[in-house]
Amino acid sequence: MHRYIRLLIMIFYLSCSVIAQERTDSVFPADGEEDLTVSILTCDPGPDVYELCGHAAIRIRSENMDSVWNYGIFDFTSPNFIYRFCKGETDYMVYGYRFERFMPAYVRRGSRVTEQVLALTQEEARNLRKILRTESLPENRVYRYNYVRDNCATRPWKRINQASGRGISLPDTLYFPTFRDEMRHFHRNYPWYQFGIDLVLGSGLDYPLAKDEDTFAPPVLQSKIAEGKIGDQPLVSQTNVIFPGFYDATLPPTPWYMTPMAVGVVMLIISFGTLFAYIFKKKLWKWWISIYFLVTGIAGIIVTFLVFFSEHEATSPNLLIFWLNPLQLIVALGVWFKSWKIPLGAMAVYNIIEVLLLTLLLLTPLSSQVANPAVWPMLLSLLPLSATILLSQNKISSKSS
């Protein structure tokens, strides 16, 4: 519960910051010939799910100005924010404000903040400041956020490249082979969060990454910038730890018995228990059949919405829609009614076929989508449950004849 309270506090803080920035920070000293220093700020991951990949921003300072340009601002109070966010209409904003207002949130949570001073010429630095000022104007500041392609790390990096008159290059080494692998690294202590991502995001996360595509996570961008070149010289002229942090600000690993895999194994055991209870004791555990298919049906509504209606590019295609779809609600409700014999039998046959189909599709070396390991015991639970439904329907048919 404390995570959600902290999320609400952060949302309130950001909303208040937006209002205050409009009043006090939207105007910096006029352009002049003062020397500018440009740097990338990288904030280590925090405890909440939206902080797990860290954060990045641009810092520009001179004798008369010390500013941060932040592409991670959103307006939670905008109309239908949650619905539009789920649909993929993720509108974020860029704001410039004073550096001293940037640090308190990261000091409170204990995350390290590192500054990499870039070896830009004064002309390049002024070009960048001009680009940022133009982009932060009210008519320009909103952009369509994309978690892996256009976010708080990729967009500042693009603007730095845009402002530079020289070629900027990062090392060719890829830290992670796919977007999903990179997410799993940063979400490793949050298995339920990653499990949810693996369910709703399909094959768009699993193609081999090209050069620099792994820099969507600020810590990866930080590591690559440290080895980058601008022209024929190092890109970073100086590295400063502005705040060392108190500890690893993320939460400790989830105990194994509370992970999705543990829950999946329990589900599989109960599902086989349902089959054995019917075979040997003629008891139909309707309660478990109804719970299982209610959960998968509700999850199916979410997956179906994201596949067919969301603008998030990675939600479609998603092979798991063969399993997680609203049709499962037929079983959740129909198991309580004897008159639902035909649709229940049809759904049982469909579920057996879909287990075999998904197993074939997801395990083939040519599969374009990688499933979370915890999916397998949950998916295989369909086999004993569907067999139980078919056996019970056959008994009903025998009594009817």
Task: Name the strands in the sheet holding 37-43, side by side, starting at the edge strand that comes first in the sequence.
Answer: 142-144, 91-98, 66-73, 55-61, 37-43, 113-118, 236-243
Q: Is residue 68 part of a domain?
A: yes
Calpha distance 371→69 (Å, rounded): 37
Q: Which of 198, 222, 243 is the last residue of a domain?
A: 243
Q: Are residues 29 and 109 in the same domain?
A: yes
Same domain, 287 and 379: yes
Split at pLDDT 50, 70, 90, the class of 84 is confident
Q: For residue 166, what pLDDT is reported?
A: 86
Pairing of strands 91-98, 55-61: unpaired
Which of 110, 118, 158, 58 has its CA nearest to residue 239? 118
How much is the pLDDT for 30? 58
Question: Between 108 and 313, where is the model more confident?
Answer: 108
Joined together, the tokens standing for residue 5 give 């309270």
pLDDT score, position 9:
36
Whether residue 215 is found in the same domain as residue 340: no
Read off the pLDDT of residues 210-267 as tens digits, 9 standing for 90 and up: 989 999 999 999 999 999 999 889 999 999 999 999 888 999 999 999 999 999 999 9
Q: Token match 């054995």: residue?
A: 276
- On whether the CB atoms of residues 236 and 119 are closer than 8 A, the answer is yes
251 closest CA partner among 90, 45, 62, 98: 45
Amino acid 148 reads: V
Which residues are registered as beta bridge partners of 143?
92
pLDDT interval class at 20 (50, 70, 90): very low
Q: Where are the beta strands (DSSP E) in 74-195?
A: 91-98, 113-118, 142-144, 168-169
User: Does one domain contain both 234 and 363?
Assistant: no
Same structural domain, 67 and 118: yes
Work out how many domains the chain is built from and give that number: 2
CA distance 115 to 41: 5
SS3 category, 108 = helix
Looking at residue 227, its pLDDT comes to 95
In a domain? residue 147: yes
Same domain, 220 and 298: no
First to last CA, the chain: 55
pTM, entire model = 0.86
Residue 192 lies in a domain: no
Q: Provide the pLDDT for residue 399.
A: 53
Can you give the pLDDT at residue 338? 87
Q: Are residues 56 and 150 in the same domain?
A: yes
Cβ-contact 48, 5 below 8 angstroms: no
Residue 206 lies in a domain: no
**What is the pLDDT of the chain when averaged over all its residues?**
88
- Residue 9: domain span: 2-174+211-243
Q: Helix, strand, or coil here: 98?
A: strand
In a domain, 46, yes or no: yes
Mean of pLDDT values over 158-170:
92
Do 147 and 76 fall into the same domain?
A: yes
| CB-CB contact of 281 with 165 (8 Å) | no
Domain check: are 229 and 261 in the same one? no
How far is CA 32 from each of CA 60, 67, 125, 324, rounded to the nearest angstrom?
14, 15, 12, 59
Under 8 Å CB-to-CB from 395, ≥6 apart: which residues? none
| Same-domain pairing of 302 and 324 | yes
Whether 83 and 221 map to the same domain: the answer is: yes
**What pLDDT does 262 receive?**
98
- Sign, CA dihedral 93-98-104-110, equals positive
What pLDDT does 11 receive?
38
Q: Specify the pLDDT at position 140.
A: 95
Mean pLDDT, rounded, for 326-340: 95
Do the domain assignments include residue 184?
no
Output the pLDDT for position 28: 58
Q: To 10 degrees, the CA torsion angle through 338, 340, 342, 347?
A: -120
In a domain, 375, yes or no: yes
Exposure of 337 by Cβ count < 10 A (0-12 exposed, 13-18 middle, 19+ buried)?
Answer: exposed
Which has the minimum average pLDDT: 199-208, 362-371, 380-389?
362-371
Question: Which region, left, alpha or beta, applies to residue 231 given φ > 0 means left and ψ of -120 to 50 means alpha?
Answer: left
CA 41 – CA 163 distance, rounded (Å): 18
CATH of the domain at 84: 3.90.1720
Backbone dihedral angles phi then psi of residue 244, each to the nearest 5 degrees: -75, -15
Distance CA 65, CA 325 (A): 55
Q: Are residues 215 and 355 in the same domain?
A: no
Instruction: Look at residues 115, 53, 66 and name the one whose alpha carbon lies nearest to residue 243.
Output: 115
Residue 154 lies in a domain: yes
Q: For 163-167, 177-181, 298-302, which range has the lowest pLDDT when averaged over its residues?
A: 163-167
CA contacts within 13 A on the Cβ side of 27: 3
